[in-house]
Structure 1
Amino acid sequence: MNITLNPVSKDLIIIRYISRLPWLIIPMIAAILWTIFGKAGWWGISLSCIIGLFLIWQAWLIPKQVHNLGWLETEEDLLITKGKLWHTFTVVPYGRVQYVDLSQGPLERIYGLKTLKLNTASVTSDAKVRGLLAEEADQLRERVSERAKKKMIDL
């Protein structure tokens, strides 16, 4: 499949680093201090190494995940792709869209990003596009809403 999808903002990498890595760095520091001052021995060293490996893995994985995020509008559908290890490609027909949400957390607000979520007739749908520039997200929401309305009227 030779489709070029629109990428999301690279600032999403920084947001994911800020929101995910402290949950590994703090326990790793605690395990190191436990090893040094608490005489944890090999338990503390092992725990520090395991957490350190997860930290390195996340530091490698996050940029790859963001690089694999993308979206594309077609005449009939919105195409969404995500994931590095478990890659998913979602096709959301405009006729199935019930409403469109935009959300923006505190870190996203600082970096001027938003998340677009398409709520469809399917309860299992995970149609989200994270890391969109705020202006781009607003415009995409309007276009998808208009196309969804038009498809619903045509039905």
Structure 2
Amino acid sequence: MTPEVPVPDLPDVNQPGALPPVPHDVAESADRPEPSARLELPETGDWMRVSPKYVLVEIVGTIVNAVVVCGGASLLWLLLDQTWALWVGIAVLVASIINLVFEPRRVRSIGYLLRGDDLLFRRGILFQRFVAVPYGRMQLIDITRGPIARWLGLADLKFVTAAATAGVSIPGLAEADAESLRDRLVELAESRRAGL
């Protein structure tokens, strides 16, 4: 006959105001650092920033998009008497103005970091995105230049990995920096693939 083990009284979760017990692994998570503290990765080194001139590229793109959409909405409203087009145009105009206000801060949030085995890329203010791309998985490294970026001496560095969904683009690099970074990444990718 086995001895009877006392069972502690647990609160009835069906009672109003009663909370369920906290699982052991969740209770331990209180000692973990905040997610934002982990994502800053202060121990990995200094983040490289994109050129400050890239703000102008983004501002011009936002203005052009706003003019095209608002112009089309205005034509629909004036010529075809479509009232909904007026509200769409106003909404796009307000969203574009808000976007223009936050554009400099958003550009400053873009950065990349070359680590021992991968390239780490980040962007975003409210919704931050961090992508780590292993050097050995890089398959294509491409430099693209739009008309405004070319006029400012800037370029975008795009690379595609074995998983096509993990492609990353680093915008707003000075042309010389983009070319040297491309050559460095090609060299690192070839050395990592040769070591596989």
- In 1, the alpha carbon distance for the partners of 2:146 and 2:92 equals 27
Shift of 1:10: 1.2
From 70, 75, 83, give the equivalent of 2:124.
83
User: Which residue is equivalent to 2:60?
Assistant: 18
Aligned to 1:113: 154
Q: Does 1:138 align with 2:184?
A: no
Query: What is the deviation of 1:138?
Result: 0.4
**How many residue pairs are counted as aligned between the two chains?**
152
Instruction: Give unpaired runs (5+ residues) of structure 1.
Output: none
Structure 1 residue 133: deviation in Å?
0.4
CA distance in 2, matches of 1:23, 1:94: 36
Q: Could you say which structure has the higher strand fraction?
A: 1
Is the CA contact (8 Å cut-off) linking 2:55 and 2:104 kept in structure 1? yes
- 1:88-133 superposed Cα distances (whole Å, 9 cap, x missing partner): 0010110111121111111111010111111110111131111000
**Residue 125 (1) aligns with residue 166 (2):** yes
Give the whole-Å Cα distance in 1 for the aligned partners of 2:158 and 2:179. Answer: 12
Separation of aligned partners in 2, 1:154 and 1:45: 60
3-state SS in 2 of match to 1:84: coil
Aligned to 1:52: 93
Tell me the secondary structure at the aligned position of residue 165 of structure 2.
coil
Matches of 1:31 and 1:89 in 2, distance apart?
Answer: 36
Q: Is the 8 A contact 1:21 1:58 kept in 2?
A: no
Higher-Rg member (1/2)? 2
Match of 1:97 in 2: 138
1:74 aligns with 2:112: no
Question: Closer, same or farther in 2 for the Cα pair 1:27/1:4, shift >3 Å?
Answer: same
Root-mean-square deviation (CA, aligned residues, Å) is 2.4
Task: Please state whether the residue corresponding to 1:9 is helix, strand or coil.
Answer: coil
Segments ≥4 residues shifted beyond 2 Å: 25-35, 42-52
The TM-score normalised by the length of structure 1 is 0.83
- State the structure with bigger RCO (CA 8 A, min sep 6), 1 or 2: 1
Change (3 A) 1:149 1:53: same
The whole-number CA distance in structure 2 between the counterparts of 1:63 and 1:53 is 17
Task: Name the SS of the counterpart of 2:163 in structure 1.
Answer: coil
Q: Which runs of 5+ in 2 are unaligned?
A: 1-40
Seen in structure 2, the aligned counterparts of structure 1 residues 88 and 33 have a Cα distance that, compared at 3 Å, is same
